[in-house]
Structure 1
Amino acid sequence: MAKQASTKTVVIVPGGVDEYIEECPDKVRSLLMDIRSAVQSAAPGSTETTSYFQMPGYLYEGYDYNGMFAWFSFKSPNVRLHVRPPVLENHREDVGDFATTKAIISFPVSGKIPRALVKKLVKASITEMKKKARR
């Protein structure tokens, strides 16, 4: 029997990102602000929320998964960018030596946020979301 996709809908409440960042350790706040700025630059007009996974996320309404296409989080010792699969697989050469899972790329807090890479991956995640909507 084929597995059906979840049709779960979450009530999205904009905001909460400033509070998320404020709750993180002082030493990572500037990195979180930097990744936030890069995501916002790559996704103008998107809604910013912490409603979906209790971490900062971004959405454009009218798409599957509540329109969510990117998130970021802090899990020591990394700041992490979460994107839709298969974005990281499709950008394996760009990702280089950063640690990844199917949907998460981790940036060590000892370094800088690679803003150009973040923007590229976020734009690719938006493209994946829109491609899925056309099917």
Structure 2
Amino acid sequence: MEGNKPIFATFDEYIAQFPPDVSGKLQQIRSTIQAAAPDAVEKISYQMPTFTLAGKNLVHFAAFKNHIGFYPTPSGIEEFREELSLYKNAKGSVQFPLDEPLPLELIGRIARFRAAENIEQAAAKQKKR
């Protein structure tokens, strides 16, 4: 049934499909990342809202039945492993339960960390040229 999956072109389209309580949380994450990484660009990748910076993915996020998945890459998880231990997490992802407040301050710090990482990697790549 892959053909029945909706295709989204923008963050707004993605967020609009959810009920107000979930769309509000998605919008909070979006705003937090925008504030933490103001030069990041929004796009849909893997049918999820994705922020990119310096030509690379910064973070992805997506809503599910009982949680919001946040995907800051393995380095983003590892750097904040202790704080993220309160949540179900894996190598490159963490799940924030829908029935709990979002850790927006932590999400912002992770986004800032990832932004610095992307910028540093882009600068190192430029130096090699």
TM-score interval, normalised by the smaller of the two chains: 0.7 to 0.9
Q: 1 or 2, which has the higher strand percentage? A: 2
Which sections of structure 2, spanning at least 5 residues, go unmatched?
Answer: 1-8
CA deviation map 1:37-95 (0-9, x unaligned): 11111110221111x2111111124x3xxx21111101121012111222211211121
Aligned to 2:47: 54
1:107 maps to amino acid = F
Superposition RMSD on alpha carbons, in Å?
Answer: 1.7
In the superposition, the TM-score normalised over structure 1's length comes to 0.77
Identity among equivalent positions (%) equals 26
Q: Does the 8 Å contact 2:59/2:111 carry over to 1?
A: yes
Aligned to 1:73: 62
Moved over 4 A (4+): none
Q: Does the 8 Å contact 1:84/1:103 carry over to 2?
A: yes
Which sections of structure 1, spanning at least 5 residues, go unmatched?
Answer: 1-14
